[in-house]
Structures are given as structure tokens and as C-alpha cells.
């Protein structure tokens, strides 16, 4: 640790390194129970106390509502992901790519982050992908295929804000009321889907915006996917 970083106790450092190793090898942080089992604690509560101390010192963030709600700070995660890529590349060049799991039951989900999309090109074209992120599968009700960076505030009333990362499962079909990602000409938009007798309406969740009406004559309309989760406008960690 450098002098400008919080000073950790030996036990805190051990747990912090355990979290880093788990994410580097699997893409997901450990649960409290897994930390307790790895370090010989009597209960998950002991692990929780150390995690709370690490969060107070600003080296991790804790996210409620999920068993793996441990997030590294963005700069730490970038370093871990870079080391992970280098290790994978080295092992692959030797013909023996094999990630050993330090902790049981951990999974990884690596998703491309899509930024601005050029007209006439697939949404997952390489030039649209800003980078990839390893995220926890249990964050989402359905397995997503990619993350989309939200542009604008047309869905703010349901908590989808400019800069948020929307988890999207690819689909060409949608039911009324679902939040969808759609392409209309040169624009990719996030809206609520509504099929009517006249056609399709893409409804905003902000009274400052008007619905988009798609008729059989509307050119270049395509449904790109369904929203299955959201990561708030902050570093993805």
C-alpha cells in the first residue's frame, strides 16, 4: 500500500486480497459465507464486520440486496481485469488455458459495453464496444447479452438516467409494458413498448418527451432487446 491509501490491518489486507483474487479468477466477488469458510471464521457475520471496515476505509463498496454485493473501486478493478487478461493470454499461448477457482460456486459474466451506435451496423459491432466488464450474474433477472450506455433523460421517472448502464437481453419480440432497446433509423432508444391497432408506440417515462409512433410504413425500425437490469451512473465495479 502506498502512503496515500488507507492503512489496512493484516486481516483486512488478507480479505481485500482474497476479494481481488476471486474477481481476477472468476469475475465475481465471494459471498460472506465463502470468505468465512476460506479464512476460518465461525460465521459470516465476522466476515461482514471486516467488509464494513474496508468499506469505511474506502477500498471497497458494499451493495445491498445481493449475496455477492462487494465492489472494488474502479481503479482497483481495472488493474485486476488487466492482470486477468494478461494471465489468460499467457496461458492461452501455452495451450493450457485453465482458470482455477479459489472459492467454490463463483461464476463470471463478461459483457460488452455498447456506446454510440452507427446507422446500418449491428449493435454489437466491434466499433460500438467501448470495453468489457465482468459482472455478477445474480444481479439480473434474466441473463443479459450486453450493456448499453443510456443517453438522455426520457426514462427518468422509472429511474433510468443519462449515463446509466442498461443490461440488455437480445430479443426481436416484446410484450406490452416491457422496457426495450429499439433502433429507429440512425437512433437507438430506450422506451416502454406498446403495441396498438395502429402500430407500435415507444413510450417515454418523462412528460417532457413525446411517444414515438412506429407504423408499418416507418423505415428502419428494429427491436434490439429487452432491459433486464440497470447499473447506476457510477463507475462499474
**To the nearest 10°, the Cα dihedral for 55, 61, 62, 63?**
160
Helix (H) or strand (E) holding 136: none
What's the CA gap between 38 and 23, in Å, rounded? 15
User: Which residues on neighbouring strands pair with residue 164, listed in sequence order?
Assistant: none
Cell of 190: 430506450
Tell me, yes or no, if 91 is annotated catalytic: no
Catalytic residue, candidates 154, 156, 171, 218: 154
Cell of 46: 465476522
Cell of 224: 434490439
Cell of 61: 463498496
Tell me, yes or no, if 5 is annotated catalytic: no
Catalytic residue, candidates 43, 85, 191, 218: 191
What's the CA gap between 99 and 15, in Å, rounded? 20
Catalytic center residues: 154, 191
Amino acid at each position: 500500500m502506498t502512503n496515500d491509501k488507507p492503512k489496512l490491518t493484516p486481516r483486512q489486507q488478507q480479505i481485500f486480497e482474497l476479494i481481488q483474487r476471486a474477481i481476477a479468477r472468476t469475475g465475481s466477488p465471494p459471498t460472506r459465507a465463502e470468505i468465512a469458510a476460506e479464512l476460518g471464521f465461525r460465521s459470516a457475520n465476522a466476515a461482514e464486520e471486516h467488509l464494513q471496515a474496508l468499506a469505511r476505509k474506502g477500498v471497497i463498496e458494499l451493495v445491498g440486496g445481493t449475496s455477492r454485493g462487494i465492489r472494488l473501486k474502479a481503479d482497483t478493478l481495472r488493474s485486476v481485469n488487466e492482470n486477468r487478461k494478461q494471465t489468460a493470454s499467457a496461458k492461452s499461448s501455452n495451450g493450457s488455458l485453465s482458470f482455477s477457482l479459489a472459492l467454490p460456486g463463483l461464476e463470471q459474466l463478461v459483457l460488452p459495453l455498447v456506446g454510440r451506435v452507427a446507422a446500418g451496423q449491428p449493435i454489437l459491432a466491434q466499433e460500438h464496444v467501448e470495453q468489457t466488464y465482468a459482472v455478477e450474474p445474480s444481479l439480473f433477472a434474466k441473463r443479459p447479452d450486453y450493456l448499453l450506455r443510456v443517453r438522455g433523460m426520457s426514462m427518468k421517472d422509472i429511474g433510468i438516467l443519462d449515463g446509466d448502464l442498461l443490461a440488455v437481453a437480445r430479443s426481436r419480440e416484446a410484450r406490452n409494458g416491457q422496457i426495450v432497446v429499439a433502433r429507429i433509423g440512425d437512433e437507438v432508444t430506450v422506451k416502454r413498448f406498446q403495441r396498438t391497432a395502429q402500430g407500435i408506440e415507444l413510450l417515454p417515462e418523462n412528460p417532457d418527451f413525446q411517444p414515438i409512433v412506429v407504423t408499418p410504413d416507418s423505415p428502419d425500425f428494429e427491436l434490439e432487446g429487452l432491459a433486464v437490469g440497470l447499473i447506476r451512473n457510477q463507475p462499474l465495479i
